[in-house]
Amino acid sequence: MSMDAGRIAGTARIVVIGSGHSAGRLIGQLKSLGHRGQIVLIGEEAHPPYERPWLSKTMLTEPEEPAIPGVLSDTDGVTHLPLRRAVAIDRAAGRVRLDDGSDEAYDILVLATGLAPRRLAIFDGMEDRVLCLHKLDEARALRARLARGGGLALIGAGFIGLEVASSARQLGLAVDIVETAPLPLMRALPAALGRQIADLHAAEGSRLHLGTGLQSAETEAGSLRLSLTNGHRISAETVVLGMGGTAQDGLARDSGLDTADGVLTDATGRSSDPQIYAIGDVARCRSDENGQNGIRLESWRNAEDSAIAAAAAILDAPPPPPPGAPSFWTEQLGQRIQFIGQPVADGELWQSGEAFRPGYGAFLMRDDCLHQAVFVNAPKVMRAAREAFRRDGRIAADTLSALGFRRI
């Protein structure tokens, strides 16, 4: 964008669809960079932007409902339209159609629509006791159900499912985890770490049903009876679906933007239409490092980084430093577990410390290069990993031995 265009962008009418984490951070950043134009925030939820990670953690375990941190503090000049869903984009006219029949004109449009959690038709009609955990209202409903006690069945052993399992065990509920893959977190972690996580959840008292699916579900005397494809049966008062989600890119696709499980963007979040950006979980970012297929990340860090990069591009401000290797954290098994980088096939796993206890570190190496680091309250390991990722990923053998790592 030229300087003149940048000045125009400083007063542009910016419409943001989706009122989640990345939307809130984007608006805050636009304002702190001096944007003076009107901003319209369209969100189907009743709440202003808030941070979701707490929904599967303290929200479920604290005796009093905790305040969930908001993302947007300065709402001056922002028109928030809660409980409104955007249903179509007319790119030729530069307008967004809403579900109440009204429409909003934009100079710049930002898609921050996140994910839609996967659901299972097998549970149709059982929605009062079969919950997803994506929104604050769903977390409140789950909190109320967990407070009643009884059994909890989790469908899917991804991060959210495992966090809910730990939270429910902390509250003393009986927990069953059903996962079609042979191990938890198969997409996110090397198998050896998935095995350790499975063993630790079992030691915490959860019953794991791995490598099996759901055959049928029925209600019986106030409980749900689930039949698994391996022939086992489970009884639970509450079911949580933790099977991940799909990018909410339908609006973009229907309006002719380039999409591929997410809205394809450049490193600044710009889509195939220069007036439209996509940020957060819904964006699939192409860059020199990510390649032409791009990468779609689902994390707090990416919601922040992508929003900050897009705000700078929209206002023609200097770009922020590149975000570096993707990072993520989870809280389960009584620990805060941190991750940097991405899993690779055929990697070598090096470990130090006791699995998933404070001081623990695991490095996934290939060709002397670090691809993924996992650690729990291990500042030296974290520094070594960050340092390696800042360079070219290479780690000297004496650094590994100084950290007490051994190959497993």
Ligand X SMILES: Cc1cc2nc3c(=O)[nH]c(=O)nc-3n(C[C@H](O)[C@H](O)[C@H](O)COP(=O)(O)OP(=O)(O)OC[C@H]3O[C@@H](n4cnc5c(N)ncnc54)[C@H](O)[C@@H]3O)c2cc1C
Contact footprint for ligand X (CB under 6 A): 17-23, 42-45, 52-53, 55-56, 85-86, 112-115, 133-134, 160, 248, 251, 280-282, 298-301, 303, 328-330
Minimum distance, C-beta of residue 57 to ligand X, in the bound complex (Å)? 7
- C-alpha to C-alpha distances, 340 to 304, 325, 398, nearest whole angstrom: 16, 6, 21
Minimum distance, C-beta of residue 15 to ligand X, in the bound complex (Å)? 11
Give ∠ CA 246-132-143 in degrees, rounded to 5.
150
Please name the amino acid found at residue 55.
L
Q: 360, 358, 361, 379: which is closest to 370 by C-alpha?
A: 361
Q: Given the DSSP bridges, would you call strands 335-341 and 327-332 parallel, antiparallel or unpaired? A: antiparallel
Q: Given the DSSP bridges, would you call strands 291-295 and 207-210 parallel, antiparallel or unpaired? A: unpaired
Minimum distance, C-beta of residue 31 to ligand X, in the bound complex (Å)? 17
Minimum distance, C-beta of residue 48 to ligand X, in the bound complex (Å)? 10
Give the C-alpha separation, 342 to 166, whole Å.
Answer: 24
- C-alpha to C-alpha distances, 403 to 252, 355, 361, 382, 383, nearest whole angstrom: 47, 15, 9, 10, 11
Name which of 23 and 264 has its Cβ closer to ligand X: 23
State the sign of the Cα–Cα–Cα–Cα dihedral 262, 263, 265, 270.
negative
Minimum distance, C-beta of residue 359 to ligand X, in the bound complex (Å)? 21
Residue nearest to ligand X (CB): 20
Name which of 21 and 35 has its Cβ closer to ligand X: 21
Name which of 17 and 183 has its Cβ closer to ligand X: 17
Name which of 22 and 351 has its Cβ closer to ligand X: 22
Helix (H, G, I), strand (E, B) or coil at 369: strand
Minimum distance, C-beta of residue 117 to ligand X, in the bound complex (Å)? 8
Name which of 306 and 351 has its Cβ closer to ligand X: 306
Minimum distance, C-beta of residue 182 to ligand X, in the bound complex (Å)? 24
Q: 243, 238, 240: which is closest to 158 by C-alpha?
A: 243
Q: 327, 360, 333: which is closest to 157 by C-alpha?
A: 333
Name which of 22 and 238 has its Cβ closer to ligand X: 22
Q: 51, 145, 146, 57: which is closest to 333 by C-alpha?
A: 57
Give ∠ CA 296-292-259 in degrees, rounded to 5.
55
Name which of 206 and 302 has its Cβ closer to ligand X: 302
Name which of 229 and 335 has its Cβ closer to ligand X: 335
Minimum distance, C-beta of residue 342 to ligand X, in the bound complex (Å)? 14
